[in-house]
Amino acid sequence: MANEHKLQDIIAHCKEYGFVFQSSEIYDGLSAVYDYGQYGAELKRNIRDYWWRSMTQMHDNIVGIDAAIFMHPTVWKASGHVDNFSDPMIDNKDSKKRYRVDHLIEGFAETLDTDAAAALLAEMEALLAADNFTGLKQLIDDHKIKCAVSGTANWTDVRQFNLMFETEFGAVASDNPEDNKVYLRPETAQGIFVNFLNVQKSGRMKVPFGIAQTGKAFRNEIVARGFIFRMREFEQMEMQFFVRPGTQQQWYAYWKEARMKWHLSLGIAADRYRFHDHVKLAHYADAACDIEYDFPMGFKEVEGIHSRTDFDLKSHQEFSRKKMQYFDADLDENGKAFGNYIPYVVETSIGLDRTVMMVLSEAYELQDLSTEEKKDDRVVLKLPAFLAPVKLAVFPLTKKDGLPELAQELMNECRPHFKCFYEEKDAIGKRYRRQDAIGTPFCVTIDHQTKDDQTVTIRYRDSMEQERIHISEVKAKINKALQVLV
Ligand code: GAP
């Protein structure tokens, strides 16, 4: 319950302080689509940049690309998305509400005792694995599972529903609408696969090497809930690592460890994460796991690490009839060149919006600061300094006596290096609280003493402690606090 409150509090806070808004809010919003406000956009960009640098700057053998959202429609046939990127759904005939079958049954299982729930979920898993839709419908009927909106058990049959958004390309009408059909990409990974040889050849890349990319992806999620956890338009940060066949397990283990290290570098404790190893693997994978974080709704996936074999490149070779082979001139233990092969791929795929939500959930704290004399509290976002939207707030104590001018001088010195914020309105205490609420790690106050001895008060967000330092130390002190990279 406390966690449910926390989620609601975070959503309200994000709106009040310019982090995340419902899309098209003045028109009552668009379901599961969100806009980032002035501070949310900065936070998101900082996370994206950190991921990008940790991939492309910290690894000599990883390069980044920026592929288009639109791709040739055959890409999605080759990738399996046209045929397989679907979920079994069921509609309630009275409320017209559509449910993902597994979510409907899981919701019902939560109302049962532990043994009954486990038995029901095991039965559901078996039916899902066998694509037995009649059996799933029967299971829903047998348990008289009801729609939360209409309260009835008046269900359609179970059907597959593809999650890709389609649109038409170009202005030329065609007798066959399929001719102009294009999809909004449901993952960024395929833009990497189809450019594998372009990058390998133009960059003279040697296996093992990786290609990284960040960008928008679109999925017509049926049950979109949990704020920015599950959206219809979202952003992914994906990296495909191309390796010699037979070495994929070793690289899979490497990336599992490396990615967890990255997560820990966000200042989040190890017990807030866990690995969830997939037991039932997708047909193309020979190992897969999720990194889960303990969100206010419980442990949920934030990143997937998948050993995808040579499935994607092989399939693109088949559909495009273009060779996807790499020539490996290195010698094996018998002194023979490894020669031509289609590389295997280990993928790391993390949702940017989910990472924003993770970082916000971790940072959000409502603190009771009451003393015997008076009641008091504050909301503080304990964001790591290098991710905070604003790094330094500069406050002249008063609007006169040359203090704003001194404050502006400090702003001018620091502005080229990191994001600063200037404010001269309201009492200093109020100004501090507003910065706490957006996660600004450092506030500097310029007062009359500054004019005499060039010292300022620096106030630390988390401890609320204050220190007197020389004004010339401010920039270096903050720059030092921003140096983090795995
Ligand atoms: N290329 C592999 C791939 O796309 P995925 O597990 O479907 O794998 C990877 O997605 C990550 O993308 C997830 O771990 C999650 O963080 C994010 N993601 C997926 N669907 C999402 C959605 N509807 N809203 C927000 N993030 C999503």
Give, in order, the Cα–Cα distances in Å from 19 to each of 214, 227, 293. 20, 12, 21
Tell me if residue 11 falls in helix, strand or coil.
helix
Atom of ligand 1 nearest to the CA of 352: 16
Atom of ligand 1 nearest to the CA of 229: 25
The neighbour count for residue 59, using CB atoms within 10 Å, is 15
Given this model, what pLDDT does residue 1 score? 45
- Ligand 1 centroid to 383 CA: how many Å? 23
Residue whose Cα lies nearest atom 21 of ligand 1: it is: 230
For residue 19, the 8-state DSSP code is: S
Contact present, 98 and 149 (Cβ < 8 Å)? no
φ/ψ (deg, to 5) at 83: -90, -30
Given this model, what pLDDT does residue 103 score? 87
Residue whose Cα lies nearest atom 17 of ligand 1: it is: 351
Q: Which of 233, 236, 291, 302 to mutate to test the pocket of ligand 1 (most atoms within 8 A of CB)?
A: 236
- Ligand 1 centroid to 161 CA: how many Å? 18
Residue whose Cα lies nearest atom 26 of ligand 1: it is: 351
- Ligand 1 centroid to 12 CA: how many Å? 24
What is the token pair recorded at 287?
A: 């190992």
- Ligand 1 centroid to 130 CA: how many Å? 24
Residue whose Cα lies nearest atom 20 of ligand 1: it is: 230
The neighbour count for residue 275, using CB atoms within 10 Å, is 12
For residue 234, the 8-state DSSP code is: E
Atom of ligand 1 nearest to the CA of 230: 24
Q: Mind giving me the DSSP string for 104-143? A: HHHHHHTTS-HHHHHHHHHHHHHHHHTT-HHHHHHHHHHT
Given this model, what pLDDT does residue 349 score? 98
φ/ψ (deg, to 5) at 162: -75, 140
- Ligand 1 centroid to 140 CA: how many Å? 28
Contact present, 395 and 411 (Cβ < 8 Å)? no
Residue whose Cα lies nearest atom 18 of ligand 1: it is: 351
H-helix or E-strand containing 43? helix 38-52
* Residues paired with residue 21 on neighbouring β-strands, in sequence order: 35
- Ligand 1 centroid to 313 CA: how many Å? 21
The neighbour count for residue 405, using CB atoms within 10 Å, is 10
Atom of ligand 1 nearest to the CA of 236: 12
Atom of ligand 1 nearest to the CA of 219: 23
What is the token pair recorded at 142?
A: 């047998």
Contact present, 312 and 345 (Cβ < 8 Å)? yes
Give which of 366, 344, 348, 343 is closest to 437, Cα–Cα. Answer: 366
Give, in order, the Cα–Cα distances in Å from 173 to each of 32, 70, 168, 180, 182. 32, 19, 10, 8, 14
What is the token pair recorded at 33?
A: 């689509």
- Ligand 1 centroid to 276 CA: how many Å? 15
Q: What are the pocket residues of ligand 1 if the criterion is a CB atom closer than 6 Å to any ligand atom?
A: 187, 189, 219, 221, 230-231, 234, 236, 238, 301-304, 347, 349-351, 353-354
Give which of 133, 153, 134 is closest to 92, Cα–Cα. Answer: 153
Regions of the chain with pLDDT less than 50: 1
Q: Which of 44, 163, 234 to mutate to test the pocket of ligand 1 (most atoms within 8 A of CB)?
A: 234
Contacts of residue 441, defined as CB under 8 A and 6 or more positions apart, other chains included, come to: 383, 385, 388, 391, 460, 461, 462, 481
Q: What does the alpha-carbon distance between residue 163 and residue 51 come to, in Å, rounded to a whole number?
A: 27
Given this model, what pLDDT does residue 395 score? 98
Q: Which of 34, 103, 187, 193 to mutate to test the pocket of ligand 1 (most atoms within 8 A of CB)?
A: 187
The neighbour count for residue 88, using CB atoms within 10 Å, is 20
Question: For tokens 């046209």, what's the residue?
Answer: 82
- pLDDT tens for each residue of 461-476: 999 999 999 999 999 9
Atom of ligand 1 nearest to the CA of 355: 16
Residue whose Cα lies nearest atom 4 of ligand 1: it is: 187
**CA 299 from centre of chain:** 15
The neighbour count for residue 408, using CB atoms within 10 Å, is 16
- Ligand 1 centroid to 5 CA: how many Å? 25
What is the token pair recorded at 20?
A: 């995340």
What is the token pair recorded at 314?
A: 């092989």
Tell me if residue 326 falls in helix, strand or coil.
strand
